[in-house]
């Protein structure tokens, strides 16, 4: 399977715990994006990387959130001191850098439930 | 704040019916408009990327049109099948970020009854 993969698919945690999600993009894609989707809403942009550089972060990405893409391949999204409001589907997407109008290919998401 | 709106919110049709949805977006600062289909427990699937005013794209029985001057796009499904049941999302890519930061609508949830 050469699509975008995300792990884990589901995560249940207690409030105050830290969680980390992983995204493996399509191998030839330079850009990697994180979005969050809550019930009844469309996905909301969180951040994106071009290779290993984090080029943009949304105001939604509070200090408790950090994303990395150390070697320009896979990416991790960490949430520290989780809150119940962090419960959502976290989606990762990847895309080629240029010439595609930023077409983005999504993974299946990680569903986080904070108890 | 970018406003991307989709209508209707949900739609129930019978197998064989044709249907269409609307996505409205800011007409200024336009770079690209994306359509996705998202089935439960699967990855959102890219259907179309539309960039030019008057664009019309087709994939099987699904087609889409784009009007950037008035800020709307239509998605049409001809002869819906139960397997077309999904949430259809549109996403607006603004010129200021070369379309990288997508703003999504809330989606139209389509249910096709056999």
User: Which residues of chain A lie closer than 8 angstroms to B91, CB-CB?
Assistant: 42-43
Asked if pLDDT for residue A72 goes beyond 90, the answer is no
- A45-65 mean pLDDT: 91
What percent of chain A has pLDDT above 90? 80
A62 Cβ neighbours under 8 A, 6+ residues apart = none
Express as a percent the part of chain B with pLDDT over 90.
Answer: 83
Q: What is the pLDDT of residue A101?
A: 77
C-alpha triplet A47, A106, B63: angle, nearest 5°: 120
Give the closest of B32, B100, B107 to A42, CB-based: B107
> How is residue B28 written in tokens?
């200024």
Residue that wins the pLDDT comparison between B91 and B29: B91
The C-alpha of A81 sits at a distance from chain B's nearest C-alpha, in angstroms, of 27
Q: What is the pLDDT of residues B57-68, one digit of tens each?
A: 999 999 999 999
3-state secondary structure of B83: helix
Segment A82-110 shows an average pLDDT of 90
Mutate to test the interface with B, among A6, A102, A108, A111 (most CBs of B within 10 A): A102
Burial class (CB in 10 A: 0-12, 13-18, 19+), B8: exposed
**What's the pLDDT at A99?**
63
Which of A2, A6, A31, A42 should we substitute to test contact with B (largest number of B Cβ atoms within 10 Å)? A42
Q: Tens of pLDDT along B16-43?
A: 999 999 999 998 889 999 999 999 999 9
Interface of B with A in 2-61 (CB under 8 A): 4, 31-32, 34, 36, 41-46, 49, 51
Task: Kindly report the average pLDDT of chain A as a whole number.
Answer: 93
pLDDT surpasses 60 at A1: no
* Banded model confidence at residue A28, pLDDT cuts 50, 70, 90: confident
CA distance B106 to B23: 10
Cα distances from B35 to residues A58, A104, B46, in angstroms, run 22, 11, 6
Partners of A96 on chain B (C-beta within 8 Å) are none
Whether residues A101 and B89 touch (CB distance < 8 A) is answered with: no
């Amino acid at each position: 399977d050469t699509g975008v993969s995300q792990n884990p698919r589901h995560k249940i945690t207690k409030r105050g715990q830290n969680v980390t999600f992983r995204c493996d993009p399509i191998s030839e894609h330079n850009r990697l994006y994180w979005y969050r989707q809550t019930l009844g809403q469309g996905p909301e942009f969180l951040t994106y990387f071009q290779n290993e550089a984090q080029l943009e972060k949304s105001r939604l990405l509070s200090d408790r959130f950090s994303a990395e893409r150390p070697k320009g391949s896979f990416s991790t999204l960490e949430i520290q001191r989780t809150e119940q409001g962090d419960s959502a589907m976290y989606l990762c997407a990847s895309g080629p850098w240029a010439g595609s109008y930023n077409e983005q290919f999504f993974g299946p998401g990680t569903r986080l439930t904070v108890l | 704040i970018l406003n991307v709106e989709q209508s209707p919110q949900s739609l129930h049709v019978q197998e064989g019916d044709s249907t269409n949805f609307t996505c409205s977006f800011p007409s200024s600062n336009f770079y690209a408009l994306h359509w996705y289909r998202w089935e439960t427990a699967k990855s959102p699937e890219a259907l179309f990327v539309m960039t030019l005013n008057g664009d019309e794209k087709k994939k099987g029985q699904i087609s889409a049109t784009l009007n950037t001057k008035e800020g709307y796009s239509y998605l049409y499904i001809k002869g819906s099948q139960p397997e077309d049941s999904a949430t259809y999302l549109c996403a607006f890519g603004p010129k200021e970020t070369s379309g990288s930061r997508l703003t999504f609508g809330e989606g139209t949830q389509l249910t096709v009854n056999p």
